[in-house]
Amino acid sequence: MPQNIANDSDVELLFRVLCPAEDVSIGFFDGEKLLKTKKFRKVHPAEMIKIKLDKNETADLSGLRVEVLPK
């Protein structure tokens, strides 16, 4: 969530991972461009992850891809 992102305001993303993992980072990409990463000690599908993207990070955003990255 959300399904649509306005480029002129801050956005709070809510999502869950598919598989449990330890010592990972969550990466936010616009195409191949890395916008932001956040490190987590543990992630689990039962827990909702909440990340805020500032409006300067979503400016000129054409698409958003979220990935779990190994540390």
pLDDT of residue 63: 86
Domain spans of the chain, in order of start: 11-70
pLDDT at 1 over 70: no
Please, which residues bridge with residue 69 across strands? Answer: 25
| Residue that wins the pLDDT comparison between 7 and 44 | 44
pLDDT 10s digits, 10-54: 888 999 999 999 999 999 999 999 999 999 999 999 999 999 988
pLDDT of residue 3: 66
To the question of pTM greater than 0.85 for the whole model, the response is no
Average pLDDT rounded to a whole number, residues 41-68: 91
Which residue matches tokens 């990255």? Answer: 69
- For the chain, the straight-line distance linking the first and the last C-alpha, in angstroms and rounded, comes to 25
**Strand-strand pairing, 33-43 and 21-30:** antiparallel
Which residue matches tokens 């993303």? Answer: 13
Task: Please name the amino acid found at residue 61.
Answer: L
CB 18 within 8 Å of CB 60 = no
